[in-house]
Amino acid sequence: MNVTIATATLPKTGALILPAVEGTSLLPTAEAVDKAMSGGLKRAMKAADFKGKAGQVLDVVAPEGVGVSRLYMVGLGAARSVKQAGLETAAGTMVARLNAARVKQASIAADPIADADLSDADIAAHLAMGAQLAAYRFDGYFTKQKPDQKPTLTKVSVMTKAQARAKKAWEIQSAIAQGVYLARDLVNEPPNILYPESFAKKCKALTSHGLKVEVLGEKQMEKLGMGSLLGVGQGSVRESQLVVMRWEGGAQNAKPVAFVGKGVTFDTGGISLKPGAGMEDMKGDMGGAAAVTGTMLALAARKAKVNAVGVLGLVENMPDAGAQRPGDIVTSMSGQTIEIQNTDAEGRLVLADALWYTQDRFKPRIMIDLATLTGAILVALGEEHAGLFSDNDKLSEQLAEAGKASGETVWRLPMGDAYDKLIKSKFADMRNIGGRNAGSITAAQFLNRFTNGVPWAHLDIAGTAWQSGAKPTSPSWGTGWGVRLLNRLVADNFE
């Protein structure tokens, strides 16, 4: 679907969408439409008891006095509470509605909103963003689709008087949308198509956007001493990979920000085999790596003025005769030894070496890892927030603020010595599980042993990387969660 910024001229074809705020008079474009309809819009609002509440939609078919075939009003709620997420949700809601109505093209009026803490250009850009995110589809594997299963909407124009400024703002949002789309595609791909080597190949293709990409194979990782990561993949016929992506948009020799992603392209649990029911979802166990990849694309596409590094640990966790066993002891790149008590606690083993490699080679300003790490975080926070764990209050606060601004929210959970003691091993420096209690926290304690003092945060995205049902701006199973959060963090604090 093509989303563009257009002049504030009433369209003569297609559908027209008029945002409305609660408790105030009509916005300027809606006032002009009502005048052209000789008061017909206000009469329709009264008849439908439409007041502009968030989520309310008014549908006027074949309105008289204007050239469009359909007229919609969509509520934003009270003006003072209008934020970018609300604008995007409204636009996303309308994309689904327009496709259901078999509409082919639409225009959205982006009028200034008094009392809203957003410029008129930002209002237009976020309405466009909502439409773009809602238009995502992952349907390439269907060989036959009925006409009513295919989206009809091909063009959305966002009308604004601040066209020049809105176009610049939309260029940035459009670049971020590219990253979200890529992250969603990666999570949605089937595991016979997306495995460590093919994932790495997709990353290599991003050099066309200005990223520098390196791929380390198993022999190179063996020389580096990455026994923790390699142990996870030893039961698979697929070779494990370590991908390093660099964006150099900041000052020369300036320390980078670093993002590290868990990339288990399929997780059977290994010898500690998962139950069969729902195992197909484990194709998404590389959601952290997907988010890092999408973030790196977004930063490159919008030419971010920052040096950034993305490191992906890519493995497949399979239970063949050569697979890692409970009771094995592996030596990580850091030199620390790890007793394997459960082969399904594999993501932290991958991240242990990826984190150590990242801090050792790049000496980053901050280091953030993202991983679909524990089912326990889904029990604690559901699909609403990602779990945040950190040894740095400032970085935690920056992530929390970026989460509120981007709509990808986080919730900080505690860490400490009492939890760290739970991963003490009788036979090695540590064990890879801490028992039933505080499972997400003990996983974070494990990771913290491989950060070497670099300001660090861990985001457990097991509840947010994919979803049980569609949302207005996230219509697919894979959400692409994390791209917008990390982009906002960089834009607000590190450029």
Could you list the residues known to form a binding site, using ranges: 262, 267, 285, 344, 346
List the helix and strand counts (H, then E) for the chain. Answer: 15, 17
Nearest-angstrom CA–CA distance, 98 and 344 = 44
> Percentages helix, strand, coil for the chain, rounded to the nearest 5?
40, 20, 40
- Based on the residue annotation, tell me whether 274 is a catalytic residue of this protein: yes
Q: Binding site for Mn(2+): what residues are annotated?
A: 262, 267, 285, 344, 346
Q: How many residues does the chain have?
A: 495
- For residue 345 the two structure tokens come to 């606690």
Helix intervals (H) in 210-346? 218-224, 227-233, 287-301
Backbone angles phi, psi at 488, to 5 degrees: -65, -40
Strand-pair partners of 318: none
Would you give the DSSP letter of residue 472? T
**Residue linked to tokens 């660090």:** 456
Catalytic residue among 238, 348, 431, 488: 348
Catalytic residue among 53, 274, 412, 471: 274
Nearest-angstrom CA–CA distance, 370 and 160 = 37
H/E stretch holding 2 reads: strand 2-6
**Residue linked to tokens 């994309």:** 95
Nearest-angstrom CA–CA distance, 15 and 69 = 6
**From start to end of 198-340, where are the E strands?**
212-216, 241-248, 257-267, 307-317, 329-331, 337-339
Catalytic residue set: 274, 348
